[in-house]
Chain A
Amino acid sequence: MTFLPGDAIRVKDDWPESRGPVHIRTPHYVRGVAGHVKKYLGDFPNPEDLAFGRPALRVPLYHVAFDRTAIWPEHPAKDTLLVEIFEHWLEAA
């Protein structure tokens, strides 16, 4: 576990689906978007490998909060999104 609650992060602006068949749990609308870690949820087998029947390492999963305005500027400022994101998709911001 690398990140702590409150840490500022950015979701990687990565699009592995453009490089071939993949299974990803990081919604497209948060890629490249800055947010903060709300909670560490535990370690879970990496679904990106599980989906293909490959050996899957357990990887840290976080609840990550985003301001809606970081994605859709016209939305009410107090509204937020909370998304489960695996650690390898996050970088410190």
Chain B
Amino acid sequence: MSLLETDGERLLTALLGLLARKGLVSDAELQERIAITDKASPGQGARMVAKAWTDPDYRSAMLTDGSKAAEAIGIPMRGMPPLGVLENTPALHNLVVCTLCSCYPRAVLGYPPFWYKSAAFRARAVRDPRGMLAEEWKTVIPDDVALRVVDSTADYRWMVLPLRPAGTDGWTPDQLAAIVREGDMIGVTVPHV
């Protein structure tokens, strides 16, 4: 029987047994990693965005070093690729894609949505981004706003810091985080009230 035909549960048990017997990974480390993976979700990125919208110092720290900024609010980044943050402005909109595979800032956004890995998204995001955003997401980038497509090809992972929408004056960070969706942090949508 080849490795690919092996029952997944048995294979996992055997692998875990070997890792433990050879002293490569402790049970505590495994549990920590599982907990980190379970905790990773778009809610984490949304917390960062909401804090950046309400705290100028945090905003500039986040744009300088996304990983440090994530850790500063309790998001575990150990062993994760460095996180870069792309700032949307009134004159610039960012869209993240990984044309080569499916690189995604999992620590702060969790598992990628199914379409992020599709050949159609990966191809059209670079070939016809304005048309794709308008047709598939009803996100129309105005003509006077530059669109920047960020192809995530190597060791960084990228998230978008969207613009804070109008009508949110005086909102608390929790209220703001609740309106930030994963698509807003990929750049296919923008937050709205």
A residues whose Cβ falls under 8 Å from a Cβ of B: 25-27, 29, 41-42, 44, 47, 61, 68, 72, 76, 78-86
Interchain CB contact under 8 A, A61 and B155: yes
Interchain CB contact under 8 A, B148 and A83: no
With known contacts A27-B100, A29-B126, A84–B152 Cβ distance under 8 A: yes
Interchain CB contact under 8 A, A76 and B149: no
A32 to B143: give the CA distance in the assembly, Å. Answer: 28
B residues whose Cβ falls under 8 Å from a Cβ of A: 82, 84, 99-100, 126-127, 129-130, 143, 146-156
Chain B positions within 8 Å of A78 at CB level: 146
* Closest partner residue, chain B, to A24 (CB atom): B100
With known contacts A25-B100, A42-B82, A86–B154 Cβ distance under 8 A: yes
With known contacts A29-B126, A81-B151, A83-B151, A41–B156 Cβ distance under 8 A: yes
With known contacts A25-B100, A27-B99, A84–B153 Cβ distance under 8 A: yes
Interchain CB contact under 8 A, A76 and B143: yes
CB distance from B135 to the nearest CB of A (A): 16
* Closest partner residue, chain A, to B99 (CB atom): A27
CB distance from B160 to the nearest CB of A (A): 12
Interchain CB contact under 8 A, B149 and A82: yes
Interchain CB contact under 8 A, B149 and A81: yes
Question: What DSSP secondary structure best describes chain B's contact surface?
Answer: mixed
CB distance from A10 to the nearest CB of B (A): 17
> Most A CB atoms within 10 A — which of B147, B148, B152, B155?
B155
Interchain CB contact under 8 A, B153 and A26: yes
Interchain CB contact under 8 A, B130 and A84: no
CB distance from B36 to the nearest CB of A (A): 22
> Most B CB atoms within 10 A — which of A29, A47, A61, A81?
A81
Nearest 9 interchain pairs by C-beta: A84-B154, A78-B146, A44-B155, A83-B151, A82-B150, A79-B147, A84-B153, A25-B153, A80-B148
* Closest partner residue, chain B, to A80 (CB atom): B148
Contact of A27 among B150, B153, B156 (CB under 8 A): B153
A44 to B156: give the CA distance in the assembly, Å. Answer: 10
A80 to B150: give the CA distance in the assembly, Å. Answer: 9
Interchain CB contact under 8 A, A44 and B154: yes
Interchain CB contact under 8 A, B153 and A79: no
* Closest partner residue, chain A, to B91 (CB atom): A78
A11 to B84: give the CA distance in the assembly, Å. Answer: 23
A22 to B97: give the CA distance in the assembly, Å. Answer: 22
Interchain CB contact under 8 A, B155 and A41: yes
